[in-house]
Structures are given as structure tokens and as C-alpha cells.
Structure 1
Amino acid sequence: MLGKAPRFYDCFHCGRRTKPKDRFRISKDHKQVLSKLSGRTPSEHHFICNRCRHVCRSYIKQKNDRYRKTDNFETENRTASVPLSPPSVVLPFPSTSRGHSYCCICKKPGPKLIVVPTDVRHRIFITREVIIPAWSRCCPVHLQGTIDDLKPATEKTTLSRTTITQLIKSFRDEVIRQERTRLDFNSLSNAEHMDLLGISRESLVDMERYIEGRVRATPARSVRTSLTIFLMKMRGGESNKVLSTLFNVSKSSVRRCIRSVRSALMSGEFVREKLGFQHTTREKRPYKGNNQDPVQ
């Protein structure tokens, strides 16, 4: 009985007889290259060797590189015709001094300086129109209430694209936060502050200075909103659900802001200066008559 004769496969491009390990089917991209190089159109029954396959790959790679160089050249020509903005812009806004070794407010050197938080820098620009450069440092006591007393060092400042972008985003977040606010304490009178919070408007601003830099502002609530939530909780004992409805924030956000404000007041300078035996002296305590008894 006669067996089947072995079948041989020649390379379509070079005609060399291929071994099973050196035999590859012709892909769609390689068909186009082989048709252009040999002038013949391969079918699905043809094969190519490994060497001819690398020839096709090199041809395709060179073609793609030429197209890529052409596209880059056209892109460079288009960008060259469009004027680019400078990396930094000089704006007519007062600015504090720069540096890490000196306080940007009192100009005192010290090893215990801290970086001014971003939300504090943005608030100072909104309220005072003064730029505090990024990564500027100040004494810790200034974040407790005296940071508004800063004096600009220059009448102009140079802002980078990153700083301008951060300012615009901060303004956008502030506008969105104001639109979402249902209870705006900025429009309330002093008597209404006393009814809701138990303190006047001036006292609210003073307390806000003690937690500035210790309580983080979020897109949903500002530092003052966190403080008013805490004071309303202490004043009337409203539930977190009621406070979340009044201030249009979630209950978890109410819980976090109450905890953060309480920690900031207890660990900061507020308790030491306003409460306890150390906040006043014996001479400043009011007495009545000659009995030297303190006023009850």
C-alpha cells in the first residue's frame, strides 16, 4: 500500500521551501505589502517564511514612521502660528513676601513655621485682595486669629498658570457652595445670630479665626458653615438629620464637621484663652462692694 507523499510549502515571496517551524500564514497587512513588492496577490493558501515576514514588518514600520514625521511637522507648524501664553503673568495684586525661613506676616525667623493652608490663602485673597504665595510659611499663632493683620510686601505679584487655575477653581467651588447653601448666615442680623447660635456675628468671626487651618473646607461646606453647625448643635441640640436638611449636607458630613470643630477648639488656643483659670487674672475679675466676693 502506497503512503501519502509529503507536501512541501514554498515561501510566496522568495520561493524558498519552508519548514513547519519557519512557516507563517500571510496576514492582511502583509498581503498588501507582498502585492506591492512582488506584483502578485497571495491567497489564503499561501505561506511566507520568517525572513520575508520581517521584511514586511520593516516595510510597514518605515511607512508608519514617515506618516508620523509628517504629522508632527504639520502639528509644529500649526502650534507655531498660534501665540502661546507666558508661563507666568504679572498682576496688580499686593503680595506678601516669599520664603520658608521667615514668616510671611511678621517677618520673624523661626524653626516652628508652618505652611499656610490653601483654603486660608484663597480666603485672604477674597476678603483682603492680597496674594499669599504658595508654600509660604507663617507662625502658628497667626492662624489663630491674626492672619488678617498681614501687610503686603509688594504691590504686584507674579502668578503661574497653576496658581491662577487654583484660584479660578476655588472661586467656582465657592459659588457652587453658596448656591447650595439654604441657610446663609452672612445675610442674618446680629439678633438672629444670637437666636440661632447664642453668640453675635463678631464673636462668630472671632471663633472662626481659632479654627482656621485646623478645619478643612470641603466642596459641600466651608469653615464657617462647619462652625455654625457645631454652634447650632450646642445651642439647641438639633439632630444631625435636621442640621443636614438646614445646611444641605449629608448626615455623615455633619458628624465629621462637629467632631473636627470640637477637636480644633479643644486642642487650639481657644480654650486656653477663653476658658479656665488661665484666661483671666484676679485683678480683672469683677467684684462687688467691699466684701471682695466675685459677682455671681
Structure 2
Amino acid sequence: MPRSKSCGPKSYGCFNCQRRTRQKDRYPIHKKYKSLLYKPTGRTPCETDSLCNRCRHMFDSILRRKDDKKKSSTSLQQPEEKVLHPSQQAPFSPPSVTLLFPCTTRGHSSCFLCKRPGPKLVVVPVDVRHRIFISHEIDIPAGARCCPNHLQRNIEKISPSAETTTVNRSYISQLIRFLRTEVLKTEKTRLSFDNSSHLIDGDYVDLLGIPKAAYDDLLKYVDGRVKSTPSRTVRTSLAIFLMKLRGGDSNKVLSTLFNISKSGIRRSIKVIRSALIDGNFVKENLGIQHITREEIIHQHTRPLAQTLFGDNTQPQVILVLDGTYMYIYCGIIKFRGGQFSWMT
């Protein structure tokens, strides 16, 4: 039977790129594309013309960019005013409430502790201000600035400049929220190092391996480099790190003891380790550069060692090297597994 001759076109090409398209890849040209097609092609599409999927997506993205530009221009001309809920708006009032709490100077251009002028001054963090208020009952005004070394060393040695402080309603609301948070945190805390009177010196040795005085001295190296969070303070983070070194307890056990999530335990250990390594602790206590030859001779060398291996007229540095697993080859003889000590 002879085939019937069709009168339609043998192939259908894309109106834009002239690429031959299959039946499932042909899309009719929408009215919104006609103005865009006239510029690159110089022709006006008719009803039988079609676009390929690639060109259709390309023109869609062009139209989308134009719409975004129109929206941005209208938003710049007529900015929308955001209306906050009354519960989200902080009450504002001038400082009119006088409290019988001593306070310090605000000290924006100079340090409120040593009165040294700037420019290298930092704003006292909120957690430090709250800590001083709880421990010393002294109010540090918001925005007060001080030297960076005061935050790490002697921020506790603070003296008030006035016997009363004048605040507004916003500050009182913030202070009440902070005290409420501290009360809730104290109820949830199981093992706390924030208050120095909770644990005695023997407890510090049993839990951390160092006495309380050494713990406070070590705290100076990380204070200012580690930030306090709502779940843990700098003292708690340092205690977690030392307990990890002391007993090698798992993060799950430490999480139970301190009532902190395991992710918080991991972050505490990480930030304390970074603060000790990047700070001055490692430089001052480890490595050859932290001690001189004279200090080794006069402070770390016993008289018996100097008598046996040294010279009485001129003291020498005596080093003891342990070569338990050192291989020594001397001709055919091979010494292995022996302990050798050299005194020089």
C-alpha cells in the first residue's frame, strides 16, 4: 500500500536558536516572550513557531531578573516600616530611677579603672558587668570601656566612683531577666566552679589535679580569649578541659556532671585548648625558649649530679636522655632494648 504524503514540515526548529527539536522538547511561544525574541532574531513569532526547553528557561530567567530589579527599585523608593509587636518593643525611658548600688564611671574615652586615655580600649562585655554586679555589688554602666589587660588580670580590683546609680526602666528589666536566668541556671547546675566558695582546695585537686591557686592562675591565661555562653562560663570551660585531661572521662560523663550537652563539652575543650596554645601559656612553660641555661644549672640541677658528672669549679648543664628503644650499631654487635643514659 503506498504511503500517504504529508503536507506538514519535515522538521521543527527552535525559533531562537534554530536547533532541531523533538516533539516533547517543543513549547509554544508565550506572549511575554515575543518582545524579547524580536531583539535577537529581528522577527515576530507566529502561532506555529515554538521554543526549545533551553531557550524557554533562558527567557524565564531574563524576565525574573527584570521583576527583581523592579521590586528592588520600588522598595528603595518606598521603604516599608516594620511594626514590632508591643511585647517586642523595649521600654525606653530616661535615667530617672536611683538605686542604692555603687557604680563606676562610664569612661568612653578613657579606661574606667586606670583612667588611661584611648585609643586601644574595649567595651566591657555584658557577662563581665553582670559578674561584677553579683560578686562585688558594683554597677558598671553599659558602654563603659577599659584596657584589654584589665579583662584578663585585675578586673576584680574595681572601686566605685559614686554611692548610687541612676538607671532607666530598660536597665531594670534587663537586670531582672539576668537574675532570673542565673537562678534557673543555678537550679540546673550539678557541678559548679563559678563560685569559688562551693569547692575547697582538696576538691580542686581531686577533680582537676591542681590546687585552687593554680587553677586561678591558669584562668588568667584563658580569660579574655574564651567567651562565656548562656550554658557555661569561662571557669566551667576550663574545669571541663582539666577534668578531661585528669581522668579521660567521656564527653557523655562530663555532660552529665555539668548538665551541658555533648556538643557544648566538645566546644569547651576546643576553645580552651586553642586559647592555651595560641596564648602565652605554652610559650612560658614549654619549649627550650622558656628557660635559660643559668636557670637549669641553679634551679634544676642537684648537687649530687654536679659532684658525680660536673665540675666543681665551673657548673655545667646535665641532661639525662633515655634511649630505651634506640638501636646502636657497633661493628657486628647490636644492642637492642637496653636502657642507656648519657650524662654530659
Determine if the TM-score, normalized by the shorter chain, exceeds 0.5: yes
- Opposite residue 163 of structure 2, the aligned amino acid is E
The reply on whether 1:160 has 2:168 as its aligned counterpart is: yes
SS class of match (1:207): helix
Give the corresponding residue for 1:57: none
Q: Kindly indicate whether the alpha-carbon contact (under 8 Å) linking 2:95 and 2:166 is maintained by their aligned counterparts in 1.
A: no
Give the corresponding residue for 1:217: 228
- Opposite residue 231 of structure 1, the aligned amino acid is L
Q: Kindly indicate whether the alpha-carbon contact (under 8 Å) linking 2:104 and 2:161 is maintained by their aligned counterparts in 1.
A: yes
Q: Kindly indicate whether the alpha-carbon contact (under 8 Å) linking 1:120 and 1:212 is maintained by their aligned counterparts in 2.
A: no
Inter-partner Cα distance in structure 2 for 1:249 and 1:152: 36
Inter-partner Cα distance in structure 1 for 2:154 and 2:318: 32
Alignment of 1:5-84 (within 5 A): none
In structure 2, the CA distance between the partners of 1:261 and 1:88, relative to structure 1 (3 Å rule), is farther
Give the corresponding residue for 2:247: 236
The reply on whether 1:188 has 2:196 as its aligned counterpart is: no
Inter-partner Cα distance in structure 2 for 1:294 and 1:162: 66
Percent of aligned pairs with the same amino acid: 58
- Partner residue of 1:132 out of 140, 158, 169: 140
Inter-partner Cα distance in structure 1 for 2:129 and 2:318: 44
Superposed CA deviations along residues 54-73 of structure 1, whole A, max 9, x for unmatched, are: xxxxxxxxxxxxxxxxxxxx
Superposed CA deviations along residues 134-175 of structure 1, whole A, max 9, x for unmatched, are: 111111111112111122222222122222222222222222
| Structure 2 unaligned blocks of 5 or more | 1-92, 304-311, 321-344
Q: Kindly indicate whether the alpha-carbon contact (under 8 Å) linking 1:145 and 1:206 is maintained by their aligned counterparts in 2.
A: no
- Opposite residue 141 of structure 2, the aligned amino acid is P
- Partner residue of 2:262 out of 241, 245, 251: 251
In structure 2, the CA distance between the partners of 1:277 and 1:132, relative to structure 1 (3 Å rule), is farther
Q: Kindly indicate whether the alpha-carbon contact (under 8 Å) linking 2:207 and 2:246 is maintained by their aligned counterparts in 1.
A: yes
- Opposite residue 258 of structure 2, the aligned amino acid is F
Inter-partner Cα distance in structure 1 for 2:231 and 2:248: 22
| Structure 1 unaligned blocks of 5 or more | 1-84
Q: CA deviation at 1:209?
A: 3.8
- Partner residue of 1:149 out of 145, 152, 157: 157
Q: Kindly indicate whether the alpha-carbon contact (under 8 Å) linking 1:113 and 1:137 is maintained by their aligned counterparts in 2.
A: yes
Give the corresponding residue for 2:76: none
SS class of match (1:90): strand
Inter-partner Cα distance in structure 1 for 2:155 and 2:319: 35
Inter-partner Cα distance in structure 1 for 2:201 and 2:183: 24
Inter-partner Cα distance in structure 2 for 1:202 and 1:257: 21
Q: Kindly indicate whether the alpha-carbon contact (under 8 Å) linking 2:101 and 2:137 is maintained by their aligned counterparts in 1.
A: yes
Inter-partner Cα distance in structure 1 for 2:319 and 2:213: 25
Moved more, 154-163 or 207-216: 207-216
Q: Kindly indicate whether the alpha-carbon contact (under 8 Å) linking 2:122 and 2:145 is maintained by their aligned counterparts in 1.
A: yes
In structure 2, the CA distance between the partners of 1:136 and 1:87, relative to structure 1 (3 Å rule), is closer
Inter-partner Cα distance in structure 1 for 2:256 and 2:224: 26
Q: CA deviation at 1:131?
A: 1.2
Moved more, 202-211 or 94-103: 202-211
Superposed CA deviations along residues 62-86 of structure 1, whole A, max 9, x for unmatched, are: xxxxxxxxxxxxxxxxxxxxxxx97
In structure 2, the CA distance between the partners of 1:171 and 1:210, relative to structure 1 (3 Å rule), is farther
Q: Kindly indicate whether the alpha-carbon contact (under 8 Å) linking 1:98 and 1:104 is maintained by their aligned counterparts in 2.
A: yes
- Partner residue of 1:199 out of 206, 210, 217: 210
In structure 2, the CA distance between the partners of 1:114 and 1:248, relative to structure 1 (3 Å rule), is same
Q: CA deviation at 1:294?
A: 7.7
Q: Kindly indicate whether the alpha-carbon contact (under 8 Å) linking 1:106 and 1:150 is maintained by their aligned counterparts in 2.
A: no
Q: CA deviation at 1:200?
A: 1.4
- Opposite residue 105 of structure 2, the aligned amino acid is S
Greater per-residue helix proportion: 1
Inter-partner Cα distance in structure 2 for 1:237 and 1:261: 16
Q: CA deviation at 1:280?
A: 6.3
Q: Which has the higher contact order (CA 8 A, sep 6+)?
A: 1
Give the corresponding residue for 1:33: none
- Opposite residue 102 of structure 1, the aligned amino acid is S
- Opposite residue 90 of structure 1, the aligned amino acid is T
Q: CA deviation at 1:284?
A: 6.1
Superposed CA deviations along residues 249-286 of structure 1, whole A, max 9, x for unmatched, are: 11111111111222233334444555556666666662
- Opposite residue 130 of structure 1, the aligned amino acid is I
Q: Kindly indicate whether the alpha-carbon contact (under 8 Å) linking 1:113 and 1:140 is maintained by their aligned counterparts in 2.
A: yes
In structure 2, the CA distance between the partners of 1:211 and 1:167, relative to structure 1 (3 Å rule), is farther
Q: CA deviation at 1:234?
A: 1.7
